[in-house]
Chains A and B, each alone.
Chain A
Amino acid sequence: MSRLLHAALLSAGIALAAGGAVAQPIQVGVTISTTGPAASLGIPQRNSIALLPTEIDGHKIEYTVLDDGADTTKAVANIRKLIDETHADVIIGSSTTPASMAMIDVAAEKKVPMISLAASARLVSPMDDQRRWVFKVPQNDSLMADAIAEHMAKAGVKSVAFIGFNDAYGDGWAAEFGRAAKAKGIEIVATEKFARTDQSVTGQALKMMAAKPDAVLVAGSGTPAALPQKTLKERGYTGKMYQTHGIANNDFLRVGGKDVEGTVLPVGPIVVAAQLPDSNPIKAQALKYVNAYEAANGPGSVAAFGAHAYDAGTLMAAAIPAALKKAKPGTPEFRAALRDAMEAQKDLVMTHGIATMSPTEHNGFDTRARVMVVIDNGKWKLLP
């Protein structure tokens, strides 16, 4: 044991000495879905990577961004490419749960820390030898599902119809919301699916309305989530509407128009950063990101998905100084130290929340990572 420690200290010493001479750049490998069905997540994420720091403690940080098109095979090939060819010290990605799930094995095999930008809690729990290497910055679905169920219970909703994407996102939500609703004694009277590019969801809308629910929850991401809501409206549904945090970009408001007024949903604080009280530490961090993003990509372009990539960068940047003290970038020791340092983060302020990591908790968000908002006059409005 002590010999091991000795060796570690020695290598750290060498690393420091070498670091003084030629600052070895830190390689960050990114694989996200900038094309394909998850492109609306991946594109703002790619734009956000461009805003991440390019130098920390005298070490250049080099980013290599690859596209996996939300294809698991491609995602795994990409992570191998990033590790084998660019010798990545840390991996960011991928944008979707299935792609991230498939990458875990490689990250663990190569012992490279990986920060996923996907939703499902299954990426980091239950904690095991493989998931040790995986961190995840978006809020768990369960955190958001609980918030919706809580809001529904308070609003007197007894029965809910659910319609979700026919993909991993919809599946995750169906399971999590089912659990949360049950806990609050809310009955789910219809569970429907739709596909992102479906032309019509009339059938599903009629089925849900026939079940006469107090409220409808749509679980989709981006503009596609507007179609069920618009169809329900068209067919004369007047009950309460809930959406998930997957819709939090301005494109949704553009496509939804006045049909989505009054919709209630949980979001990361970033979406309503300007409305947060100044006392909230997230506000400054979130506004910094929003301003930087919109300066680069135009006003109104910011999307909550992109902020996940920025948060991944924040987590990584927070851990790098500690890791640099232990080892030189490009070495297995550095990657292990980076992992350890990320796991040691306490009360790290990000745009989506405040994270406290631990050996068993690699998401680290608590209820500060969600706020309830309502769509009001085509804007997101923070609910008290």
Chain B
Amino acid sequence: MRRFGWVGAAALAVALPWLPFLPPFWITLANYIGIASVVAIGLVVLTGVGGMTSFGQASFMGFGAYTTAILSTQWGISPWLTLPASLAVAGIAAWLIGQVTLRLSGHYLAVGTIAWSVALYYTFANLDFFGRNDGISGIPPLAIGGFRFIDPRATFAVVWIGVLASVLATRNLLDSRAGRAIRALSGGSVAAASFGVNTARARSLAFVHAAVLAGFAGWLYAHMQRSVNPTPFGLNASIEYLLMAVVGGAAHIPGAIIGAALVTVVNDQLQDLLPRLLGQSGNFETIVFGIVLVATLQAAPRGIWPLLARARPRHRDIQPDAPPLPHRALPTPNLTGGEVLDVRGLSKNFGGLAAVSDLGFTLASGEIVGLIGPNGAGKSTTFNLLTGVAEPSGGEIRFLGRSLAGLPARAIARLGIARSFQHVKLVPAMPVIENVAIGAHLRGHAGAIAALLRLDRAEEARLFAESARQLARVGLAEHADRPATELALGQQRIVEIARALALDPVALLLDEPAAGLRHAEKQALATLLRQLRADGVAVLLVEHDMDFVMTLADRLVVMDFGTRLAEGRPHDVRENPAVIEAYLGAPG
């Protein structure tokens, strides 16, 4: 049925423009909208979902357009054969540029893209190879047999089938293991890396996907326009594509198309309307366009699409009978020193300030250890050191007998350490179940190509069956399809636990899991943690709720000013005078 929908849409793209009553110029406009949509859809992945702002999409379009222009005019190669070349050149260029610019974070990335966008413009404009400022003309149109795609109505079919293909590819990508890695970036790269997502690769994938789409748009553009020159691929054009995506709703694929349509149509209509209102004496289009743009953003800061489509959660079908994912063999639970984690002399300095110093403790499988201490004692820093988010200044961490020194967060996750965060780091707009599935990232293998071709469905079913199981285990099954932000903060913490469990952990590091929970929920959490202990999971717990931690933990490690103040059974620690002083202040 769904497949029929896509085929039907493609058939519509072929037939629609030939309807007799459609004004021919609308078809031309629709073709421009289609090409812009393809670029903007790429920006949905890159900017709206991946959180990276690019001012360089038009240059990737230029890569695609110039590739086919040169190949088809100078080498006489058929445009259909140059398509893979255009896509490859744009993709490879993006990969190479990405190696340099994607390391840049935040605003650096934006300026990085501006920089190479300007540089490329003047390179195109100053080399004979690219025809300098005049560009390359006489590009052959697309043709099948003797039929040449010159009439806009014929081009319409190619362009909009291209848009459909882009939508399909992008949807497939985003709804996959690789796509979730990209979407996880907007929950913070620390969280993503802590579940084994190779954030650099995820960023690069988003970048390459967006660039390949732009390259495709460039290929379409070159054969529709039949000439190329540097102007359509400059910085201003890049800004316009970004603007389309944002106005339409950068986080949504339909938003890209709506944005492209709106910007193109408004520009065109202003050109007709304003001279009628104000006379031919001046050019007020850009002025009015700028004002309309600001007003639109004020009315719809998240874009037009979210206004049109009242967000109703889409239900994801879970196949509970999918073959279960392989399960890690946990070290046999024993209480006689089967330690999985051994920390010795751990320290961390931030510019001369010791956040953690000379900390040592052990954690065994089938054991719950509470890590407690006043605010600022260095508990969260300790978590970051254990999970590879921050690098220790000294000391040693051994996990299952091997040293973690120098391992990045995602390698540590692979060894079986999962964590939750003091400040919830879920992907806000993503459904709960998919957030949990990020936890299972390392238990799947399918890559982007498999996702594009939908060869990953069997594995996806297994990943989601596992995620649903973990979600049910923490008691949030009925919230599976809701966006994570809609849950209460306490529930979001529990989702983080489910996500951590989906990793199939040996050791579970929980940062204040009980904060914000009601009494009954705390009871349920305690039951869950006891169950995990019985299963042989090693649990390290940072918690401020003393009753909770005292009743639950087998041992406590008390920290103050980054050092270990005391260690022992809860009852003993409670009596320790140093601990009392740290918590209650000096007596008297």
Note whether A and B contact each other (Cβ less than 8 A).
Answer: yes
Q: Which of A77, A98, A105, A193 contacts B229 (CB 8 A)?
A: A98
Chain A residues, CB < 8 A from B80: none
A71: Cβ under 8 A from any B Cβ: yes
Chain B residues, CB < 8 A from A50: 280
**B134–A98 contact, CB under 8 A?**
yes
B18: Cβ under 8 A from any A Cβ: no
Q: Which of A35, A80, A105, A120 contacts B286 (CB 8 A)?
A: A35
CA distance A276 to B558 in the complex (A): 100
Given contact pairs A98-B135, A166-B125, A168-B132, a sample of 9 additional A-B residue pairs in the complex whose CB atoms are under 8 Å apart? A46-B280, A66-B271, A67-B285, A72-B232, A97-B134, A101-B135, A101-B137, A102-B227, A120-B134
* A35 nearest in chain B by CB position: B283
A73: Cβ under 8 A from any B Cβ: yes
Q: Size band of the A side of the interface?
A: 20 to 34
**B229–A72 contact, CB under 8 A?**
yes
> Would you give the shortest CB distance from A272 to chain B, in whole angstroms?
29
A303: Cβ under 8 A from any B Cβ: no
Chain A residues, CB < 8 A from B129: none
Q: Which of B24, B122, B283 contacts A84 (CB 8 A)?
A: B24
Chain B residues, CB < 8 A from A70: 231
**A77–B137 contact, CB under 8 A?**
no
Chain A residues, CB < 8 A from B226: 105
B152: Cβ under 8 A from any A Cβ: yes
A60: Cβ under 8 A from any B Cβ: no
**A98–B231 contact, CB under 8 A?**
yes
**A171–B227 contact, CB under 8 A?**
no
> Would you give the shortest CB distance from B235 to chain A, in whole angstroms?
13
From 29 to 54 in chain A, residues with beta carbon under 8 angstroms from any chain B beta carbon are 34-35, 46, 50
Chain B residues, CB < 8 A from A73: 32, 221, 225, 231-232
Chain B residues, CB < 8 A from A81: 25, 28, 268
**A80–B152 contact, CB under 8 A?**
yes
Contact flags (1/0) for A73-101 with B, using CB distance below 8 Å?
Answer: 10011001100110000000000011001
**B225–A80 contact, CB under 8 A?**
no
Q: List 22 A-B contacts (CB under 8 A).
A: A50-B280, A67-B271, A71-B231, A71-B232, A72-B231, A73-B32, A73-B232, A77-B29, A77-B268, A84-B24, A97-B134, A98-B133, A102-B137, A102-B225, A105-B137, A105-B225, A166-B125, A166-B126, A168-B132, A168-B133, A168-B134, A170-B133
A109: Cβ under 8 A from any B Cβ: yes
Q: Give me the 4 closest cross-chain CB pairs, A-B, nearest first.
A: A168-B133, A84-B25, A84-B24, A102-B227
**B280–A80 contact, CB under 8 A?**
no
CA distance A105 to B140 in the complex (A): 11
**B125–A101 contact, CB under 8 A?**
no
CA distance A125 to B133 in the complex (A): 18
Contact A67 B283, CB 8 Å, known A81-B25, A166-B125: yes
CA distance A105 to B231 in the complex (A): 18
Q: Which of B32, B122, B133 contacts A77 (CB 8 A)?
A: B32
List A residues at the B interface (Cβ < 8 Å): 34-35, 46, 50, 65-67, 70-73, 76-77, 80-81, 84-85, 97-98, 101-102, 104-105, 109, 120, 122, 166-168, 170-172, 193
> Would you give the shortest CB distance from B30 to chain A, in whole angstroms?
12
Chain B residues, CB < 8 A from A166: 122, 125-126, 133
B150: Cβ under 8 A from any A Cβ: yes
Chain A residues, CB < 8 A from B229: 72, 98, 101-102, 168
> Would you give the shortest CB distance from A169 to chain B, in whole angstroms?
8
**B25–A34 contact, CB under 8 A?**
no
CA distance A50 to B275 in the complex (A): 14
B352: Cβ under 8 A from any A Cβ: no
**B28–A171 contact, CB under 8 A?**
no
Chain A residues, CB < 8 A from B29: 77
CA distance A65 to B282 in the complex (A): 11
**B23–A76 contact, CB under 8 A?**
no
**A84–B23 contact, CB under 8 A?**
yes
CA distance A202 to B19 in the complex (A): 60
CA distance A297 to B336 in the complex (A): 98
Contact A167 B133, CB 8 Å, known A46-B280, A73-B232, A81-B25: yes
CA distance A65 to B285 in the complex (A): 13
Chain A residues, CB < 8 A from B25: 80-81, 84-85
**A34–B283 contact, CB under 8 A?**
yes
CA distance A168 to B286 in the complex (A): 24
> Would you give the shortest CB distance from B198 to chain A, in whole angstroms?
38
**A104–B137 contact, CB under 8 A?**
yes
From 253 to 280 in chain B, residues with beta carbon under 8 angstroms from any chain A beta carbon are 268, 271, 275, 280
Q: Which of B23, B280, B285 contacts A85 (CB 8 A)?
A: B23
Chain B residues, CB < 8 A from A84: 23-25, 28
* A128 nearest in chain B by CB position: B138
> Would you give the shortest CB distance from A98 to chain B, in whole angstroms?
5
> Would you give the shortest CB distance from A286 to chain B, in whole angstroms?
24
* B27 nearest in chain A by CB position: A84
Contact flags (1/0) for B9-36 with A, using CB distance below 8 Å?
Answer: 0000000000000011100110010000
From 201 to 246 in chain B, residues with beta carbon under 8 angstroms from any chain A beta carbon are 221, 225-227, 229, 231-232
CA distance A328 to B218 in the complex (A): 40
**B232–A80 contact, CB under 8 A?**
no
CA distance A324 to B179 in the complex (A): 63
CA distance A167 to B150 in the complex (A): 29
CA distance A97 to B231 in the complex (A): 12
* B275 nearest in chain A by CB position: A65
Chain A residues, CB < 8 A from B126: 166, 193
CA distance A98 to B135 in the complex (A): 7
Q: Which of B134, B152, B280 contacts A101 (CB 8 A)?
A: B134
**B23–A171 contact, CB under 8 A?**
no
From 56 to 74 in chain B, residues with beta carbon under 8 angstroms from any chain A beta carbon are none
* B282 nearest in chain A by CB position: A34
> Would you give the shortest CB distance from A56 to chain B, in whole angstroms?
20
Q: Which of A46, A72, A120 contacts B227 (CB 8 A)?
A: A72
* B36 nearest in chain A by CB position: A73
Chain B residues, CB < 8 A from A66: 271
Contact A122 B134, CB 8 Å, known A84-B28, A85-B25, A166-B122: yes
CA distance A133 to B231 in the complex (A): 25
> Would you give the shortest CB distance from A264 to chain B, in whole angstroms?
26
* A170 nearest in chain B by CB position: B133
CA distance A76 to B35 in the complex (A): 15
Contact flags (1/0) for B129-163 with A, using CB distance below 8 Å?
Answer: 00011110100000000000010100000000000
* B229 nearest in chain A by CB position: A98
Chain B residues, CB < 8 A from A72: 135, 225, 227, 229, 231-232
CA distance A66 to B25 in the complex (A): 15
> Would you give the shortest CB distance from B244 to chain A, in whole angstroms?
14
* A85 nearest in chain B by CB position: B25
CA distance A104 to B285 in the complex (A): 25
Contact A171 B152, CB 8 Å, known A73-B232, A98-B231, A166-B126: no
* A79 nearest in chain B by CB position: B28
> Would you give the shortest CB distance from B130 to chain A, in whole angstroms?
12
> Would you give the shortest CB distance from B73 to chain A, in whole angstroms?
13
* A37 nearest in chain B by CB position: B231
Chain A residues, CB < 8 A from B24: 80, 84
CA distance A16 to B294 in the complex (A): 53
Contact A105 B227, CB 8 Å, known A34-B283, A84-B23, A167-B125: yes
Chain A residues, CB < 8 A from B125: 166-167
CA distance A172 to B125 in the complex (A): 12
* A67 nearest in chain B by CB position: B283
Chain A residues, CB < 8 A from B150: 109
* A78 nearest in chain B by CB position: B271
> Would you give the shortest CB distance from B220 to chain A, in whole angstroms?
12
